[in-house]
């Protein structure tokens, strides 16, 4: 029999203690903020019918494209592929399932405001920091038509950043409105305004606009015109716009000005005459008014013409929470994390199921990326590698019950304690504690049991001192980090050492 290789599928990964502690902190803080705004938790299945999920991923057109889809194992192999029950898939986000819930449970009070944390899966090309399985943590308000819900979403994102320890100025929420983009296209002479359909000309234009940050204005101009040849000589077909059209779009993309009202004024001119575009500007103005009244100024929330978002279900306001602070990692590398929150308004998603319009808006945070960034904040506690505060070592296997009893006594006192259960002498056990970063160790052999004492060893102090002393021998002689403590005082001593 061939042995299986202990391998991972591409784009998937194992996560160890320090990264999980960082992630757990994000989850706890973000949940607190979501609950502060009264959102309710919801959980939905990881697996849904493909037609329930819909095909809202950027540039995906087949059941398998972009998602993990598989045949319904309850139906035989002869079910036609276009049977609505033929295909199941792992969810690619949490929003499609939210829309299903709203459509399915008539008894849900509106507005239905829920938060949901869960994994999502996409069959995309993985890369550094880009995985095929990722944790999302969403909040959404369903059944809300006013801009107050979108303004609130911006506040939630700001509050979450600050609750996580990011200072004002370390982050910014960038807001735009897709109706404005559609208005610009309408003024360019477009009649088909479905800006995210993979095969529409409007879609090609918007995808070109979305590349502003990566390619700069020159690159976008090429993609809007005849096309662009990249460094590897690959040619991307352009949208074939004429000069006047390209200039109008360039003008829109350049409307990045200091104040939100100035942005509204300048794009208002560009979309004047387009009903959709004017509606978009009016919505942005309402958003601005509410945010300003609450003191969420341009320091925290800006309007930005380049925010488009990939998902095709967004119908109006779109927003991103962006980490603007450059963070230096342990190796001195400057890291940029960019957009970590993303969301917007999707007024048609429930309608897919019911035929009735149900306005909705909300956003999602990429927990893993945010955790990676938060871990690097200078004020964040050094990453722990372990949960135990004490390792009870085992010197004499005959007295296992005594070591075990000490460990239980410490646990009963609320101290996280590991009893060494592996094999190896006291040296190996110390190395084990050291590798994991356990701060304290308890040691007792025949002499100690006879005298009714335990050796309490402070491994943190040991690590500090061993960095100072010249030789291992010199260090061993002194043992300044080790103290003999009467059995009855061990718990007190350990509590004091951990403070």
Scanning residues 98 to 127, which ones bind a second copy (CB under 8 A)? 99-101, 103-105, 109-111, 113, 119, 121, 123
**Which 35-64 positions form the footprint of a second copy (CB under 8 A)?**
35-49, 51-52, 54, 64
φ and ψ at residue 397, rounded to 5 degrees: -60, -25
Segment 439 to 498, residues that bind a second copy, using CB under 8 A: none
Options 30, 151, 271, 365; binder of a second copy; rule CB under 8 A: 151
- The interface region with a second copy, picked from 148-156, 171-179, 332-340, 485-493 by CB under 8 A, is 148-156
Footprint of a second copy on 224-283 (CB under 8 A): none
| 325-344: contacts with a second copy (CB under 8 A) | none
Among 400, 477, 479, 498, binds a second copy (CB under 8 A): 400
Q: How many Å apart are CA 361 and CA 94, to the nearest integer?
A: 13
In the complex, what is the shortest distance from the CB of residue 290 to a second copy, in angstroms, rounded to a whole number? 6
Which of the stretches 96-104, 233-241, 274-282, 460-468 binds a second copy when contact is defined by CB under 8 A?
A: 96-104
Q: Measured from the CB of residue 354, what is the shortest distance to a second copy in angstroms?
A: 8
User: Which phi-psi region, left, alpha or beta, contains residue 391 (left: φ > 0; alpha: ψ -120 to 50)?
Assistant: beta
Q: Which is nearer to a second copy, 40 or 275 (CB)?
A: 40
Piece of the chain touching a second copy by CB under 8 A; list 239-247, 275-283, 372-380, 396-404: 396-404
Angle between helices 243-253 and 212-224 (to 10 degrees): 160
Residues whose CB is less than 8 angstroms from the CB of residue 275 and which lie 6 or more positions away in sequence, other chains included = none
Q: 411 vs 493, which CB is nearer to a second copy? A: 411
Nearer to a second copy, 77 or 258 (CB): 77
- φ/ψ of residue 159, rounded to 5: -60, -40
Shortest spacing between CB 41 and a second copy, in angstroms: 4
User: Which residues share a beta bridge with 366?
Assistant: 136
User: Contact between 128 and a second copy (CB under 8 A)?
Assistant: no
With contacts defined by CB under 8 A, how many residues of the chain interact with a second copy? Answer: 106
CB of 40 to a second copy, least distance (A): 4
**Cβ of residue 47: shortest distance to a second copy, in angstroms?**
6
Question: How many other C-beta atoms are found inside a 10 Å radius of the C-beta of residue 368?
Answer: 21
Q: According to the binding rule CB under 8 A, does residue 411 interact with a second copy?
A: yes
Q: How far apart are CA 438 and CA 459, in angstroms?
A: 7
- C-alpha to C-alpha distance for 173 and 159, rounded to whole angstroms: 11
Nearest distance in Å: CB 272, a second copy: 27
Say whether residue 148 binds a second copy (CB under 8 A). yes
Beta bridge partners of 323: 171, 338
What is the nearest approach in angstroms of a second copy to the Cβ of residue 216?
34
Least distance from a second copy to the Cβ atom of residue 37, Å: 7
List 185, 276, 438, 440, residue binding a second copy (CB under 8 A): 438
Cis peptide before 154 (omega within 30 of 0): no
Minimum separation from the CB atom of position 375 to a second copy (A): 15
User: φ and ψ at 79, to 5 degrees?
Assistant: -65, 130
Q: Cβ contacts of residue 165 below 8 Å, gap of 6+?
A: 374, 377, 379, 380
Q: In the stretch 350-389, what mask flags binding to a second copy with x, by CB under 8 A?
A: --xxxx-----------------------------xxxx-
Which residues, 6+ apart, have CB-to-CB distance to 63 below 8 Å? Answer: 50, 69, 87, 89
Token pair, residue 427, equals 């040296």
> Which residues are CB-contacts of 13 (< 8 A; sequence separation ≥ 6)?
131, 133
Alpha carbon distance 491, 419 (integer Å): 15
């Amino acid at each position: 029999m061939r042995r299986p290789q202990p391998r991972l599928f591409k784009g998937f990964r194992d996560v160890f203690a320090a990264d999980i502690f960082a992630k757990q902190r994000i989850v706890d803080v973000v949940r607190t903020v979501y609950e502060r705004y009264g959102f309710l938790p919801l959980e939905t299945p990881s697996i849904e019918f493909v037609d329930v999920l819909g095909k809202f991923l950027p540039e995906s057109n087949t059941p398998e494209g972009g998602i993990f889809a598989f045949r319904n194992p309850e139906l035989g192999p002869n079910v036609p592929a276009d049977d609505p029950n033929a295909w199941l898939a792992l969810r690619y986000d949490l929003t499609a399932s939210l829309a299903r819930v709203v459509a399915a449970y008539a008894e849900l009070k509106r507005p239905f405001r829920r938060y949901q944390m869960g994994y999502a899966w996409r069959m995309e090309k993985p890369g550094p920091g880009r995985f095929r399985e990722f944790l999302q943590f969403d909040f959404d308000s369903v059944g809300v038509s006013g801009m107050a819900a979108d303004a609130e979403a911006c506040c939630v994102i700001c509050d979450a950043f600050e609750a996580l320890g990011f200072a004002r100025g370390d982050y910014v929420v960038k807001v735009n409105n897709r109706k404005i983009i559609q208005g610009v296209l309408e003024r360019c002479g477009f009649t088909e305004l479905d800006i995210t359909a993979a095969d529409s000309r409007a879609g090609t234009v918007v995808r070109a606009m979305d590349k502003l940050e990566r390619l700069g204005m020159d690159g976008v101009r090429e993609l809007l015109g005849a096309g662009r040849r990249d460094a590897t000589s690959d040619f991307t077909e352009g949208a074939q716009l004429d000069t006047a059209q390209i200039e109008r779009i360039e003008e829109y993309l350049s409307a990045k000005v200091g104040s939100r009202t100035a942005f509204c004024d300048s794009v208002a001119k560009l979309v004047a005459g387009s009903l959709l575009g004017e509606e978009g500007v009016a919505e942005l103005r309402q958003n601005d008014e509410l945010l300003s009244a609450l003191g969420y100024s341009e320091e925290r929330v800006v309007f930005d013409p380049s925010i488009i978002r990939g998902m095709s279900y967004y119908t109006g306001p779109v927003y991103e929470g962006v980490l603007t602070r450059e963070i230096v990692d342990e190796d001195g590398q400057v890291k940029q994390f960019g957009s970590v929150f993303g969301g917007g308004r999707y007024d048609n998603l429930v309608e897919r199921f019911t035929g009735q319009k149900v306005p909705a808006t909300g956003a999602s945070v990429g927990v893993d990326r945010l955790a990676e960034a938060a871990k690097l904040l200078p004020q964040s506690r050094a990453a722990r590698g372990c949960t135990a505060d004490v390792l009870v070592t085992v010197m004499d296997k005959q007295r296992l019950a005594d070591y075990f009893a000490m460990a239980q006594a410490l646990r009963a006192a609320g101290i996280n304690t590991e009893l060494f259960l592996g094999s190896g002498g006291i040296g190996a056990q110390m190395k084990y504690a050291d590798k994991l970063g356990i701060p304290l160790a308890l040691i007792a052999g025949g002499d100690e049991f006879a005298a009714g004492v335990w050796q309490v060893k402070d491994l943190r102090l040991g690590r500090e001192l061993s960095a100072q002393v010249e030789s291992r021998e010199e260090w061993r002689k002194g043992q300044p980090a080790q103290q003999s403590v009467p059995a009855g005082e061990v718990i007190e001593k350990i509590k004091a050492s951990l403070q």
